[in-house]
């Protein structure tokens, strides 16, 4: 009886999973065939800056992938986070079409919340590269070279300090 229910469940659910996977790639194929591309190389970053200006009381969470630690950036350090975001210049953005960057498994993942809802992700791969994208974005993420940013406000150093020194709210 249970075997039949499992089989029926698999038969009914499997097509929906396949359709869901195909619908994402279908959407990408439609965008490519229509010539719809990301409006600018810094599209998501500009939108995030507008959101930060509009909602000054955002909640920022850091996840450290090596240990699984999760911390919230204390209010005392939010000024550094905002300074970092404001210090990103257009020349820092990396055109992924012209480079062969292999950015996988970020060391830190920052999630930005507004009113308890996650809206943006910042993946910090290393001391040099980060990516910024919305929680549900349809374009490739913005890739940014953060090495020119002063180490005092560099997001990698900020996350490293908060996680490794066990800074609390």
Render pLDDT for 90-104 as a digit per residue (tens, 0 to 9): 999 998 766 667 788
Cβ neighbours around 9 below 10 Å, total: 10
- pLDDT-derived band at 115 (thresholds 50, 70, 90) equals confident
Render pLDDT for 33-45 as a digit per residue (tens, 0 to 9): 455 688 999 999 9
Question: In this structure, are residues 107 and 64 in contact, taking their beta carbons and an 8 Å threshold?
Answer: yes
39 vs 43: CA distance, rounded Å: 6
Q: What are the sequence ranges of the domains in the chain?
A: 1-36, 43-164
154 vs 158: CA distance, rounded Å: 6
Q: Is 166 left (phi over 0), alpha (psi -120 to 50) or beta?
A: left
User: Residue 32: its pLDDT value, please?
Assistant: 47
Q: Of 54, 61, 42, give the one whose Cα is nearest residue 139.
A: 42
User: Residue 51: its pLDDT value, please?
Assistant: 92
* Protein fold of 43-164: Dna Ligase; domain 1 (3.30.1490)
Look over the chain and give the mean of its residue pLDDT values, rounded to a whole number. Answer: 84
Whole-structure pTM value: 0.76
């Amino acid at each position: 009886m249970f075997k039949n229910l499992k089989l029926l469940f698999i038969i009914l659910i499997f097509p929906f999973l396949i359709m869901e996977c195909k619908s994402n790639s279908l959407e990408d194929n439609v965008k490519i065939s229509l010539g719809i591309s990301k409006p600018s190389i810094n599209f998501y970053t500009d939108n995030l800056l507008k959101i930060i200006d509009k909602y000054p009381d955002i909640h920022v969470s850091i996840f450290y992938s090596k240990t699984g630690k999760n911390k919230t950036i204390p209010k005392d350090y939010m000024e550094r986070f905002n300074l970092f975001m404001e210090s990103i210049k257009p020349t820092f953005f990396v055109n992924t079409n012209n480079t062969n960057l292999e950015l996988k498994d970020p060391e830190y993942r920052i999630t930005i919340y507004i009113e308890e809802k996650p809206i943006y992700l910042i993946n910090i791969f290393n001391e040099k590269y980060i990516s910024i994208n919305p929680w549900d974005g349809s374009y490739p993420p913005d890739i940014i070279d953060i090495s020119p940013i002063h180490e005092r406000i560099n997001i990698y150093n900020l996350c490293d300090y908060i996680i490794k020194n066990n800074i609390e709210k």
